């Protein structure tokens, strides 16, 4: 019988060789972390830099599961609710954190390392990712919303973009920038249904007309005048001056369209600015400018047209690999990671909106023409509840029922955008569905 070293040695040699093989095998064992993440460019960049983490941590191997935004949300929600154990680290946002942490579905991040400066996280983002003073997710970027536009096309049309445009003004601009002969669509906005896709934009737009998702008594507001004006104008301008098939376009699709020079205007997340400004990613990088998100009406009620979001990394409470997971999260969301990105791709491509120190860094502020507007929008975003708004959140309502309601309403509005029903029909159906759901859940007595 051949022994573990492959030969026929003495018993002493056999014992020594087998012991060394056993020790070597134990030393070579790795912890494999499976990370479920969204298919945006910041996370794709992180995947490309993962070998740097693995080199510094040879006992940890990273496996990525990269999914489209709506599918990611479905998969991770099912996995964490059933304790499925498919993911060791989940990419989630500040909608899920307060809900899931209260259900004890998430592990608090308590050992990110002595050099990890939690106090450096931007206060709005840190607060949104914390429950009872404990951090439950670490942001790899944060965002609000603003208007991105083609400066060259505006100049050619003889138009000047104000510091805070109204949506009516953007509708006029879209009509003048639209040019079928050159393949430029006047405006690109989210149309793909989902509570975090088209509803993030439309819910935020309705706020700027004076609307909310629910009134002080939790009655849905989809049949109110602000929602009718917001959705009516959105559908009108997109049908007249948006790209074909807009009801299937979300964040990723519109980013591609704008970067290819096919959009005159785009109102969306501040986090996309580094990509549309990067000549390696965008054909119009030197022609892009930024201003505030549009207001529905002049006085811009509800504190303006800002939203607050953070794609963040969190650990399921059931995880058996928390120590390794916290090591990766610390690496991916620390200042040193920002320096790693800057060294490879330049300061303008560092993930934005997560740390105060980034906006105190003159190298970043000089390299990123969108930095000041991003910081202004994020600091102006106040997601707290109030007398006329019983929920926390801006572009979403931080209650468990919102994911289902938001997605159902998003499907109705996408149907109106596609022309299969009217705006009035879509909002009436939305109101009826949301009222049933909120009554069944006990919010409406």
Task: Inform me whether the pLDDT recorded for 22 exceeds 50.
Answer: no
What is the average per-residue pLDDT within 202-225? 96
Percent of the chain residues topping a pLDDT of 70: 93
pLDDT score for 29: 81
Residue-wise pLDDT for 120-144, tens only, equals 999 999 999 999 999 999 999 999 9
What is the average per-residue pLDDT within 69-76? 92
pLDDT grade for 258, boundaries at 50, 70 and 90: very high
Cβ atoms of residues 338 and 358 within 8 Å: yes
pLDDT score for 28: 55
What is the average per-residue pLDDT within 356-364? 97
Task: Inform me whether the pLDDT recorded for 25 exceeds 60.
Answer: no
Q: At what angle do helices 41-56 and 335-345 cross, to 10 degrees?
A: 110
| Cβ atoms within 10 Å, residue 55 | 8
- Choice among 5-9, 107-111, 254-258, 411-415 with the minimum mean pLDDT: 5-9
What is the average per-residue pLDDT within 413-438? 98
Task: Inform me whether the pLDDT recorded for 64 exceeds 50.
Answer: yes
Task: Inform me whether the pLDDT recorded for 11 exceeds 80.
Answer: no
Q: What angle do CA 365, 367, 369 make, to 5 degrees?
A: 70
Task: Inform me whether the pLDDT recorded for 437 exceeds 70.
Answer: yes
pLDDT score for 234: 98
Cβ atoms of residues 293 and 145 within 8 Å: yes
What is the average per-residue pLDDT within 375-388? 91
The values of phi and psi at residue 196, to 5°, are: -105, 5
pLDDT score for 261: 97
pLDDT score for 275: 93
What is the average per-residue pLDDT within 47-62? 96
pLDDT score for 388: 87
What is the average per-residue pLDDT within 69-78? 93
From CA 181, how far away is CA 188, in angstroms rounded?
17
- Domains of the chain from N-terminus onward: 30-142+309-372 (3.40.190.10)
From CA 268, how far away is CA 254, in angstroms rounded?
9
Task: Inform me whether the pLDDT recorded for 178 exceeds 60.
Answer: yes
Cβ atoms of residues 178 and 306 within 8 Å: no
pLDDT grade for 12, boundaries at 50, 70 and 90: very low
What is the average per-residue pLDDT within 26-52? 88
What residues contact residue 62 under an 8 Å CB cut-off, 6+ apart? 32, 33, 35, 50, 53, 54, 328
Length of the chain equals 445
Chain mean pLDDT for the chain:
92
Task: Inform me whether the pLDDT recorded for 323 exceeds 80.
Answer: yes
What is the average per-residue pLDDT within 260-289? 95
pLDDT score for 41: 86
What is the average per-residue pLDDT within 348-369? 96
- Choice among 86-100, 222-236, 373-387 with the minimum mean pLDDT: 373-387
Task: State both tokens at 261.
Answer: 């020079």
pLDDT score for 305: 81
- Exposed e or buried b for every residue in 86-104, given b needs 16+ CB within 10 A? ebbbbbbbbbbbbbbbeee
In order of 95, 255, 347, 351, the CA distances from 274 in angstroms are 24, 11, 9, 8
pLDDT score for 21: 41
Task: Inform me whether the pLDDT recorded for 16 exceeds 50.
Answer: no
């Amino acid at each position: 019988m051949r022994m573990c070293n492959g030969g026929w040695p003495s018993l002493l040699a056999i014992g020594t060789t087998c012991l060394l093989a056993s020790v070597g095998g134990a030393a070579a064992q790795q912890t494999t972390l499976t990370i479920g993440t969204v298919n945006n460019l910041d996370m794709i960049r992180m995947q490309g830099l993962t070998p740097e983490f693995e080199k510094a941590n040879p006992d940890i191997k990273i496996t990525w599961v990269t999914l489209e935004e709506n599918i990611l949300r479905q998969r991770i929600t099912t996995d964490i609710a059933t304790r499925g154990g498919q993911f060791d680290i989940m990419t989630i946002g500040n909608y899920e954190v307060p809900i899931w942490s209260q259900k004890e579905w998430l592990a608090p991040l308590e050992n990110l390392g002595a050099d990890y400066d939690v106090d450096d996280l931007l206060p709005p983002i840190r607060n949104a990712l914390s429950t009872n003073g404990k951090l439950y997710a670490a942001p790899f970027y944060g965002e609000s919303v603003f208007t991105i536009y083609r400066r060259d096309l505006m100049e050619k049309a003889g138009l000047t973009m104000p510091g805070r445009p109204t949506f009516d003004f953007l509708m006029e601009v879209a009509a003048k920038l639209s040019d079928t002969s050159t393949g430029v669509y006047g405006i690109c906005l989210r149309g793909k249904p989902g509570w975090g896709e088209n509803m993030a934009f439309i819910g935020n737009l309705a706020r700027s007309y004076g609307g909310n998702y629910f009134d002080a008594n939790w009655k849905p507001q989809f049949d109110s005048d602000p929602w009718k004006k917001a959705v009516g104008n959105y559908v009108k301008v997109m049908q007249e001056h948006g790209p074909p098939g807009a009801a299937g376009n979300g964040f990723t699709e519109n980013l591609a369209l704008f970067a290819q020079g096919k959009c005159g205007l785009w109102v969306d997340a501040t986090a996309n600015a580094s990509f549309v400004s990067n000549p390696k990613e965008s054909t119009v990088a030197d022609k892009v400018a930024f201003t505030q998100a549009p207001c529905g009406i002049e006085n811009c009620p509800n504190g303006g047209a800002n939203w607050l979001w953070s794609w963040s990394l969190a650990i399921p409470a059931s995880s058996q690999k928390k120590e390794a997971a916290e090591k990766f999260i610390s690496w991916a969301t620390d200042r040193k990671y920002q320096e790693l990105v800057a060294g490879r791709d330049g300061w303008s491509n560092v993930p934005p909106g997560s740390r105060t120190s980034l906006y105190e860094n003159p190298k970043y502020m000089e390299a990123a023409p969108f930095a000041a507007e991003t910081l202004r929008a994020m600091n102006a975003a106040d997601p707290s509840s109030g007398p006329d708004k019983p929920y926390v959140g801006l572009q979403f309502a931080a209650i468990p029922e919102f994911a289902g309601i938001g997605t159902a309403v998003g499907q109705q509005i996408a149907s109106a955008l596609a022309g299969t029903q009217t705006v009035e029909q879509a909002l009436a159906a939305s109101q009826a569905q949301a009222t049933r759901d909120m009554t069944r859940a006990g919010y409406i007595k």
